[in-house]
Amino acid sequence: MGALTHFGLTGISYLEKEAMRELAVRGSPFSTADSKALIDYCQTDVDALEALLKPMCEHLSLGQALLRGRYMKAVASMEHYGIPIDAEKLSQLQSNWEPLKERLIQQVDRHYGVFEDFVFKRERFAHYLAKQKIPWPTGSQR
């Protein structure tokens, strides 16, 4: 949607897109009308990509696009098959997780003071940031 706007092209509204995403995420069963609406929604993405191809061509690098495609293929393969892991080391980490976490917090938090009883405290973090004069976005700034 941002690219369409950037190039002065039109597409479906943000609200319509969000409604269709929510419908898709909700999952089946879909009514006949919902199925048609989802197919039509998917077509709007195809139409948008087709409209964007020409104005974006002069901004694209074929080498980068091919590299990104190869990367996405590798990521899809990892997501499908899983990432190889040393099962023995994973078991050791899992069985020792709490002591490891406590030791790490003790070693690192002595410089920051943002944990209390091994629990991260937002108030302490805010105090540390203010003391160090570090700007940080808060929920009220959203």
Q: Tell me the backbone φ, ψ of residue 115, rounded to 5 degrees.
A: -110, 150
- What pTM does this model have? 0.45
Report the alpha-carbon distance of residue 118 to residue 101 in Å, rounded: 8
Strands (E), the chain: 115-116, 119-120
Greatest alpha-carbon span in the chain: 60
With left for phi above 0 and alpha for psi between -120 and 50, is residue 133 left, alpha or beta?
left
Mind listing the pLDDT tens digit for each residue in 56-81?
A: 888 888 899 999 999 999 999 988 99
pLDDT in tens, 92-108: 999 999 999 999 999 99
| Domain definitions of the chain by residue range | 2-81, 87-141
Rg of the chain taking only CA atoms, in angstroms: 24
- What the block records as the tokens of 15 is 């609200």
Q: What pLDDT score was predicted for residue 139?
A: 66
